[in-house]
């Protein structure tokens, strides 16, 4: 599909939308129905709405409908208010942008209008430091060279200025002509690709003779960019409103479901099935009792001629009674605490990077607990593990190595002498360094030259050339000026063959202004340049230099050039122009034409650039590996460089402790044999554990073949391997590898810093972006952004682990307190004729759910089972979270049993003490409710590991508020509880009953907890003991030995074969839940995890085998 934009022609301007921006989700008229529709798309909300509607049927409702409608309306109101507030802020932002004043050309003169009134085809005039209001094709600037500078930080996060240039067909037009310009732009329909614009422009006479001129992204000014260092610029509006590239990029990302959310959904489903079973059984029993025993009682009166639906009354009553088994407040509670977890990350001063003034930020507030369950980290290299501060260190020119002795080629006397003596090879090498790039030189008022580069490699090369007296002074349009040894050299830049991830090289065509000779300058990866050498050139020296530099961890680039004849260039230029004019498959056609020119190159030499590791990277990786997390490095660098960096940052170990297995090959057969050999080695190693660490290395070429033909075998290899290095990979391959690990049911975290990492970051369960020198694209696309890689340790071990622990307790406690009150109702039915009668009144039930039991548990957001220092010193305890030890069917069964036991205790003690002729129903109800509140206060207190004033106030302040509120209600004559609380509290039997319920209810719980803590402690228990006694702080080695001594029942542990990861086994062997996969052995189908595509014979490599 194409769009034809007629320049400055009002007759066609109504064919497309105006420039009004709208990011709002709702309008004033559709807010209520649309918001309710979105909320009721959730199963739980549909369920509670059904329950609330059933309660409107007075014949079946055992309680006042307000007990469900009240909390439901409050929950919906809170969600709707939040949505309305967010949408209102978006409306205000849109209004400010739409009403901003801009200049357009109309009837040959400039006119001031609001930005929202711009139409496609209008000529828009932008002044310095103004924001671009829509997507424009640049037609003129104040600069005679036809260039302008723009800041694109709001679009892609890159802070360096970019140069935009007018198309050649508009060159030479003055301001008067720009007001009257006419023509047509042929462009694609709107899309969100901010790096691509394949279009053509044709101006109508008298401006030019109908010649078609190709347009690229470099000829555009995109919405939200700012014009800098340029007095004015003008352009034709091609995309407006929400059809701009920025507008098309907006949208709500797909919500991510955490492992804990998935488990909560399964548990909710299980409770729902249990509830249905209870309803069927009790409803049937109630109907049987009614038809047999009830009719014998004088005080029970049933009509003999009942309507047909009477058989449904008792089952539906029990459905309403049991509806609170699924806590109505769990969604709001989880959303609230998860928002707080995100704020804790934002407020964490220890994750603030002072060097770049960058705080940590949680863009996604819903997945913090997933950080504690990460099993695989897939990381970029450049800018993520390294600083992305490129320093030119060494080079090889014409077979001569420079910088070997000093480690700095710029100080190498031999190279300096070669520059002074005008060595031909050195001059060519430096010329390519200075001109084969997209760097923009900027001269300050004092005459000092600085460079603005989109690539740190290019910046390092141009600065190195400048230090060697090959100074790029200016680059205006198609002209470049070089100063070399006090000589001025002028070049005309004819064409730029841009770098792509497929070509892995870039080239520039220049013409020497003095001699008129045409040269092709090329630079790129060694495998992209060396095969293009002219026949007969000896390149072994360059290959050896590449290997040598790579082993030092240096980034290498090959530089080459070739002289062209005029006729060859003209013929090629015609093909290049045709390819550049294509609207379909332009990139592929351009690459094909480039190949026709990039051949028989004269290889000039190799540059070697140092990119230092960030501070703290080796220590961070080492600690995270100890926690059971596996690492994959995905990089575009060559194999040897990546391996060297992996060794430096503790990603892999050097021989003999570690061994690398290589998957190489250029053909399918070679790759298949290599993959088979590596896979066989991994199988043997996994079945016979050794001390040696194995990792595999694969390059992009072999990986492409593997992902196409041998994906199943590679998936098996991924399961068996703890560490992998993938070299020369493209952005799409990075995303494919993340997807592959996700298919194996692993929790993945992807971390990167550049635009080429965005797809990988968005594909992973958790995406982390580093605010680096390559801009903020990765940080903006990520769930979390941090300033440096080392903060990842704290993000996972501290914030991730605490979030998982707290959420696990809160979610299970929410079910516990709902099941407790529901079981009491069920037990009461056995002494009330199984009629579905409610023991509690409506006000008490509503207050119980919304206030009495919800506030105390929210204080768990401050709970810490271990100090941050202990957690970071003992990273292996993260395995409890990875294995899902705190929330699974086993732990939930414990809470389920606890709620049933506590309900039996509360009911039996209450019924035996107060079920006599002198006790009212309201008294019995209040005693049972009081006992439940007492038990829950003790349960929350017992489960807390640390106490602050806020936690104390939340638990016991709320406990006191229970009595204050009920005293207040009991003093109201019209209330159904009039004087009840006063009478109860004057009776010693009430307080004795509360103490008895607390003692009998909490006694076994305390005893079991004491037994486990004393005689069968987990690793966490031992660390807690050490903290509280201020004894020795156990670490990796002595913690394991202490566990073996303290845990007499772990004979299986002591008999395990010794291996490197032996410290992991004690941490998992003290529980039957060794991993999330063990859930599959449950007899409940609803707990079955998603079917893994991994053979069952291959255990997770972080778990004990």
Yes or no: say if 857 and 999 are a contact pair by the CB < 8 Å rule. Answer: no
* 370 tagged catalytic: no
- CA atoms of 688 and 1057, how far apart (whole Å): 10
Find, among 243, 168, 239, 233, the residue nearest to 207 by Cα: 168
- The tokens for 204 are 């109508």
Helix, strand or coil for residue 391? strand
| Total H helices, total E strands in the chain | 40, 33
Residue 363's contacts (CB-CB under 8 Å, 6 or more residues apart) are: 780, 782, 783, 784, 785
Residues in the chain: 1105
Query: Which residue is catalytic, options 156, 261, 380, 457?
Result: 380
By CB atoms closer than 10 A (0-12, 13-18, 19+), residue 916 is exposed
Q: How many CB atoms lie within 10 A of CB 717?
A: 23
- The tokens for 531 are 């095969």
- CA atoms of 801 and 958, how far apart (whole Å): 28
The structure tokens 């909390």 sit at 71
Residue 1003's contacts (CB-CB under 8 Å, 6 or more residues apart) are: none
In b/e form, how buried is each residue of 325-346, taking b as 16+ CB within 10 angstroms?
Answer: bbbbbbbbbbeebbbebbebbe
In b/e form, how buried is each residue of 817-842, taking b as 16+ CB within 10 angstroms?
Answer: bbbbbbbbbbbbbeeebbbbbbbbbb
- CA atoms of 656 and 878, how far apart (whole Å): 29
How far, CA to CA in Å, does 430 sit from each of 410, 415, 464, 465? 12, 11, 9, 6
- The tokens for 1052 are 């299986």
Residue 483's contacts (CB-CB under 8 Å, 6 or more residues apart) are: 469, 471, 473, 489
* Host H or E run for residue 784: strand 784-786
Yes or no: say if 579 and 596 are a contact pair by the CB < 8 Å rule. Answer: no
Most distant pair of Cα atoms in the chain: their distance: 122
SS (H, E, C) 1027-1060: HHHCCCCCCHHHHHHHHHHHCCCCHHHHCCCCCH
Yes or no: say if 811 and 260 are a contact pair by the CB < 8 Å rule. Answer: yes
- CA atoms of 225 and 218, how far apart (whole Å): 13
Question: Residue 601 gets which letter from DSSP?
Answer: B
Q: Is the peptide bond before 181 cis (omega within 30 degrees of 0)?
A: no
Yes or no: say if 120 and 240 are a contact pair by the CB < 8 Å rule. Answer: yes
- The tokens for 1005 are 């719980």
941-945, Cβ contacts within 8 angstroms, sequence gap of 24 or more: 942/1002, 942/1005, 942/1006, 942/1009, 943/809, 943/813, 943/860, 944/859, 944/860, 944/863, 945/863, 945/864, 945/865, 945/866, 945/1024
Yes or no: say if 1064 and 1036 are a contact pair by the CB < 8 Å rule. Answer: no
The structure tokens 């006000």 sit at 843
The catalytic residues are 380
């Amino acid at each position: 599909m194409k769009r034809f934009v007629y320049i400055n022609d009002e007759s066609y301007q109504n064919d497309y939308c105006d420039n009004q921006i709208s990011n709002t989700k709702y309008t004033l008229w559709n807010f209520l129905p649309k918001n309710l529709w979105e909320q009721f798309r959730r199963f739980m909300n549909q369920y509670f709405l059904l329950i609330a509607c059933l309660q409107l049927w007075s014949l079946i409702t055992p309680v006042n409908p307000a007990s469900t409608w009240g909390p439901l309306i409050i929950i919906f109101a809170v969600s709707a208010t939040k949505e309305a507030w967010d949408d209102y802020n978006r409306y205000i932002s849109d209004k400010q942008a739409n009403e901003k004043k801009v200049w357009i050309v109309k009837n040959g003169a400039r006119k001031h209008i609001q930005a929202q009134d711009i139409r496609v085809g209008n000529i828009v005039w932008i002044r310095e430091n103004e924001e671009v209001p829509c997507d424009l094709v640049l037609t003129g600037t104040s600069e005679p060279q036809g260039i302008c500078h723009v800041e694109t930080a709001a679009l892609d996060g890159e802070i360096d200025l970019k140069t935009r240039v007018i198309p050649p067909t508009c060159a030479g037009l003055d301001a008067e002509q720009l007001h009257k310009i006419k023509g047509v732009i042929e462009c694609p329909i709107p899309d969100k690709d901010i790096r691509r614009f394949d279009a053509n422009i044709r101006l109508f006479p008298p401006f030019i003779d109908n010649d078609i001129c190709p347009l690229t992204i470099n000829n555009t000014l995109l919405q939200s960019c700012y014009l800098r260092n340029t007095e004015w610029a003008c352009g034709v509006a091609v995309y407006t409103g929400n059809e701009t590239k920025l507008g098309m990029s907006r949208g709500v990302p797909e919500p991510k479901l955490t492992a804990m959310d998935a488990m909560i959904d399964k548990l909710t489903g299980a409770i729902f099935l249990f509830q249905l079973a209870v309803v069927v059984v009790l409803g049937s029993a109630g109907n049987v009792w009614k038809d047999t025993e009830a009719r014998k009682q004088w005080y029970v009166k049933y009509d003999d001629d009942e309507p047909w639906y009477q058989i449904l009354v008792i089952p539906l009553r029990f459905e309403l009674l049991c509806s609170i088994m699924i806590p109505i407040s769990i969604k709001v509670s989880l959303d609230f605490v998860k928002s707080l977890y995100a704020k804790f990350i934002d407020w964490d001063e220890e994750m603030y990077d002072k060097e770049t003034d960058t705080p940590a930020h949680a863009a996604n507030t819903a997945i913090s607990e997933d950080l504690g369950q990460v099993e695989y980290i897939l990381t970029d290299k450049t800018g993520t593990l390294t600083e992305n501060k490129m320093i030119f260190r060494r080079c090889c020119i014409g077979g001569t190595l420079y910088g070997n002795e000093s480690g700095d080629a710029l100080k190498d006397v031999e190279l300096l002498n070669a520059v002074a003596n005008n060595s031909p090879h050195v001059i060519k090498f430096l010329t390519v360094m200075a001109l084969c790039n997209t760097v923009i030189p900027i001269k300050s008022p004092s005459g000092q030259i600085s460079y603005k580069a989109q690539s740190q490699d290019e910046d390092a090369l141009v600065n190195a050339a400048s230090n060697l007296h090959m100074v790029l002074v200016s680059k205006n349009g198609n002209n470049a000026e070089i100063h070399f040894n006090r000589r001025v050299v002028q070049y005309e830049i004819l064409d730029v063959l841009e770098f792509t991830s497929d070509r892995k090289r870039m080239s520039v065509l220049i013409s020497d202004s003095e001699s008129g000779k045409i040269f092709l300058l090329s630079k790129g990866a060694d495998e992209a340049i060396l095969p293009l050498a002219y026949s007969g050139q000896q390149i072994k020296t360059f290959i050896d230099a590449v290997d040598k530099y790579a082993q030092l961890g240096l980034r290498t680039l090959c530089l080459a050039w070739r002289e062209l004849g005029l006729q060859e260039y003209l013929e090629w230029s015609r093909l290049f122009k045709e390819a550049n004019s294509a609207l379909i498959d332009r990139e592929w056609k351009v690459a094909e034409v480039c190949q026709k020119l990039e051949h028989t190159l004269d290889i000039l030499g190799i540059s070697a650039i140092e990119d230092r590791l960030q501070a703290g990277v080796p220590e961070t990786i080492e600690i995270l590996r100890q926690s059971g997390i596996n690492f994959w490095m995905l990089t575009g660098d060559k194999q040897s460089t990546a391996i060297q960096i992996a060794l430096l940052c503790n990603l892999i170990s050097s021989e003999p402790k570690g061994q690398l297995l290589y998957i190489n090959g250029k053909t399918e057969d070679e790759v298949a044999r290599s993959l088979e050999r590596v896979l066989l080695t991994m199988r043997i190693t996994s079945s016979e554990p050794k001390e040696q660490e194995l990792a595999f290395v694969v390059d992009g070429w072999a990986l492409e073949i593997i992902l196409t033909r041998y994906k199943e075998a590679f998936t098996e290899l991924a399961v068996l391997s703890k560490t992998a290095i993938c070299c020369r990979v493209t952005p799409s391959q990075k995303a494919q590898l993340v997807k592959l690990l996700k298919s194996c049911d692993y929790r993945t975290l992807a971390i990167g810093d550049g635009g080429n990492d965005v797809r990988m970051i968005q594909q992973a369960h958790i995406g982390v972006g580093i605010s680096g020198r390559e801009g903020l694209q990765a940080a903006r696309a990520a769930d979390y952004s941090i300033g440096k890689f080392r903060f990842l340790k704290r993000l996972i071990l501290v914030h991730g682990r605490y979030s998982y622990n707290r959420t696990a307790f809160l979610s299970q406690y929410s079910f516990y307190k709902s099941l407790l009150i529901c079981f009491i109702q069920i037990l009461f039915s056995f002494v009330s004729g199984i009629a579905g009668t409610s023991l509690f009144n409506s006000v008490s039930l509503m207050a119980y759910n919304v206030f009495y039991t919800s506030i105390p548990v929210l204080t768990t957001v401050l709970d810490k089972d271990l100090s941050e220092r202990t957690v970071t010193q003992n990273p292996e305890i993260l395995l409890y979270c990875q294995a899902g030890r705190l929330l699974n069917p086993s732990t939930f069964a414990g809470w389920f049993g606890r709620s049933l036991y506590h309900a039996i205790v509360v009911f039996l003690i209450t019924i035996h003490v107060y079920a006599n002729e002198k006790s009212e129903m309201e008294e019995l109800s209040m005693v049972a409710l009081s006992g439940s509140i007492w038990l829950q206060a003790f349960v929350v207190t017992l489960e807390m590991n640390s106490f602050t004033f806020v936690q104390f106030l939340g638990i016991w302040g709320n406990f006191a508020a229970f009595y204050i509120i009920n005293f207040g209600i009991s003093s109201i004559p019209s209330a159904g509880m009039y004087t009840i609380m006063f009478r109860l509290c004057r009776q010693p039997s009430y307080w004795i009953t509360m103490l008895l319920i607390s003692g009998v209810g909490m006694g076994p719980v305390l005893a079991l907890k004491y037994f486990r803590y004393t005689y069968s402690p987990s690793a966490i228990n031992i660390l807690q003991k050490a903290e509280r006694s201020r004894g020795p702080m156990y670490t990796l080695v002595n913690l394991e030995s202490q566990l073996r001594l303290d845990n007499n029942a772990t004979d299986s542990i002591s008999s395990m074969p010794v291996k490197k990861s032996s410290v992991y086994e004690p941490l998992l062997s003290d529980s039957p839940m060794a991993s999330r996969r063990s859930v599959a052995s449950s007899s409940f189908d609803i707990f079955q995890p998603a079917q893994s595509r991994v053979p069952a014979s291959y255990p997770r490599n972080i778990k004990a085998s």
